[in-house]
């Protein structure tokens, strides 16, 4: 009896291009989870505000709070480890992701300069620890409402 082992199917360039074009930059599952949880708590917000640097995923203007939900691959989560794992088209991906990391820092600085507090959550953290993320936002809103805006170290 002969057993055949199937080889993994490697997508062609057009197939890969199509797959990558389907990846969304807004309204991702983790982002929707966080938004629904905030709405259920009575926290009202705006999404993808174009007049703020980086177009934050969630903006609570009353408390000058900008919230981003970042994808692990695109924004370089644990970049030291991930960078070593990338095998194909390394130059392109490393350059792209490092530029995304730099842009995130620039947007954080620009938002802070105009008086906003920036929260960044990894998509995986939102999926696994949604309540923790919501609690951090609620704590910020509570203390900001009392006139004492906490420092990020308070979390």
Can you give the residue range of the structural domain that contains 109? 26-149
- What contacts 44, CB < 8 A, 6 or more positions away? 60
**For the segment 57-89, what is each residue's pLDDT rounded down to a tens digit?**
999 999 999 999 999 989 999 999 999 998 888
Q: Is residue 13 part of a domain?
A: no
The pLDDT of residue 153 is above 60: no
Q: Is residue 51 part of a domain?
A: yes
Work out the number of other CB atoms within 10 angstroms of the CB of residue 16.
Answer: 13
Query: Quick one: pLDDT at residue 97?
Result: 94
Domain count within the chain: 1
In 61-136 the beta strands, taken as DSSP E runs, fall at: 65-70, 117-122
Query: Quick one: pLDDT at residue 155?
Result: 44
Work out the number of other CB atoms within 10 angstroms of the CB of residue 84.
Answer: 8
Q: Is residue 11 part of a domain?
A: no
In 41-142 the beta strands, taken as DSSP E runs, fall at: 46-47, 58-60, 65-70, 117-122
Between CA 60 and CA 45 the distance in angstroms is 5
Q: Is residue 85 part of a domain?
A: yes
């Amino acid at each position: 009896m002969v057993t055949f082992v199937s080889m993994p199917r490697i997508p062609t360039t057009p197939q890969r291009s199509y797959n990558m074009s389907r990846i969304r930059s807004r309204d991702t599952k983790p982002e929707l989870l966080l938004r629904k949880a905030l709405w259920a708590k009575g926290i009202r917000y705006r999404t993808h505000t174009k007049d703020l640097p980086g177009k934050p995923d969630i903006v609570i203007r009353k408390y000058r709070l900008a919230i981003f939900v970042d994808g692990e691959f695109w924004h370089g989560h644990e970049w030291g480890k991930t960078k070593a794992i990338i095998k194909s088209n390394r130059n392109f991906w490393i350059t792209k992701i490092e530029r995304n990391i730099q842009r995130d820092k620039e947007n954080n600085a620009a938002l802070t300069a105009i008086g906003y507090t920036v929260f960044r959550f990894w998509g995986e953290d939102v999926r696994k620890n949604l309540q923790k993320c919501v609690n951090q936002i609620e704590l910020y809103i509570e203390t900001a409402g009392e006139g004492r805006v906490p420092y990020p170290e308070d979390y």
